[in-house]
Amino acid sequence: MSAVSVALATTWLLGLLMLPLLGSLLRSGVPGVREWLAADVALMVAIPMLLLRDRIPDFLSIVIANLLIALAGVTLYAGFARFLHRPARWPLLLTCVVMTAPALVYWRYVADSIPMRVVVSTGFTATVCAAVAVTVARYQGSRRARYLHAATVGVAVIFAACQVARGIYFITLDRVANALTFDTTVNVVLLCVGAAIMPVMLMCGMMMVHDALLSDARDAVNRDFLTGALSREGFASAARSLWEEADRTRSPLACLIVDLDHFKSINDTFGHTGGDKVLCEFVGLMRSTIRAGDALGRIGGEEFAILMPGIALDHAQSLAERLRTAAAQHAVVTNNGTCNYSLSGGLASRLPGETLDQLTMRADRALYQAKVSGRNTLCVDTPQSPS
């Protein structure tokens, strides 16, 4: 068995192993998986056709097989593009595949040349690898593991370079190729690297999918399903980080707890769905009012906490006051009419030596004062040394 056949058979076996793995990821609904599975299937069909050279018509074992490999390549690229929420641009990709057909036909039936056919296919694969590298490098998801993206870009660049090197090697053969030219160490090494492209790139894709699923699962635990604010757990974890950072940098940290007023009667008047809409729109309002580094969590039904790092108490007070005014002026349109609502808020700023629980308790106490003093108001806990 020649080195070419061994490399192709190995790729086929690895592709076979990838099929159930990709199939199991299909249910995840992550974009790109369907394309990667299709790319693997196209390669699985193409490789036996290549291996059956001299036993089936050349049109199948050369032209169709190489077109299928080109199709697998662009489908692999489309998978990465879709995974990164970029358009796949199928018309362009399919045009590129179809354009290789005349070249393959010419260098088989008009001027039969194995080296030139290798140059066409390696050039095509090098372009696909380079396109994957550029797309992954340009459009990294913010919450995805960067090392995975860097590794994918790295291997795609190495694969593109090896394909270019193999193409150059065959150009130097000057249209003459026989078994000896295929069995040189350089060609066998470059061939093995080429055979690893699809399995390795699919592996990179699958690792990205696992990372995305993990990140989504983490998000599901840390985010409140209804409003998208941090859940209690998510807020506690964000608060711990902000607290440690404030401790380390000895910078101020303000805690604001807000509670929507008479929310039970909002539910009674506008229905539970109307109440839900008020909660969602109120979270949107808070998001547009607070700063990028602030942590916003839903700590109860209609109760929210905001931790504001690096902000003096008077500045935090004017921000909280702005939020209170905006809420009072914000009308929510529900199926049962327009709902006007208000909030009560309690604000406290971290004292030296205080714990997070003590700060939250003071903010809560201020909130209670706001409620008993008539609601739609903001109370500030005046700093005292902790006992």
Ligand X SMILES: Nc1nc2c(ncn2[C@@H]2O[C@H](COP(=O)(O)OP(=O)(O)OP(=O)(O)O)[C@@H](O)[C@H]2O)c(=O)[nH]1
189/361 with CB nearer ligand X: 361
Q: Give the residue from 271, 275, 272, 304 showing the smallest Cα distance to 289.
A: 304
What's the min distance (Å) between Cβ of 74 and ligand X?
A: 47
Amino acid at 35: E
Cα 247 to Cα 232, 313, 387: the distances in Å are 22, 17, 19
332/356 with CB nearer ligand X: 332
Give yes or no for residue 368 binding ligand X (CB under 6 A): no
Site for ligand X in 111-130 (CB under 6 A): none
Q: Which of 35, 281, 302, 354 is catalytic?
A: 302
What's the min distance (Å) between Cβ of 225 and ligand X?
A: 9
Among this protein's residues, is 321 annotated catalytic? no
- Relative to beta strand 343-349, strand 253-260 is antiparallel
198/230 with CB nearer ligand X: 230
Cα 13 to Cα 6, 50, 76: the distances in Å are 11, 14, 18
Selected from 23, 57, 293, 301, the binder of ligand X by CB under 6 A is 301
Beta bridge partners of 306: 256, 296
79/275 with CB nearer ligand X: 275
Amino acid at 190: L
Cα gap 69→83, rounded to integer Å: 21
Q: 33-51 and 65-83 helices cross at what angle (nearest 10)? A: 160
Alpha helices in 141-262 (DSSP H): 146-172, 179-182, 185-222, 232-249
What's the min distance (Å) between Cβ of 82 and ligand X?
A: 34
Chain residue whose CB lies nearest ligand X: 301
Amino acid at 360: T
What's the min distance (Å) between Cβ of 127 and ligand X?
A: 52
Site for ligand X in 217-276 (CB under 6 A): 226, 259-264, 267, 272, 275-276
167/275 with CB nearer ligand X: 275
Site residues (CB under 6 A) for ligand X? 226, 259-264, 267, 272, 275-276, 279, 301-302, 371, 375
Positions annotated as catalytic residues are 302
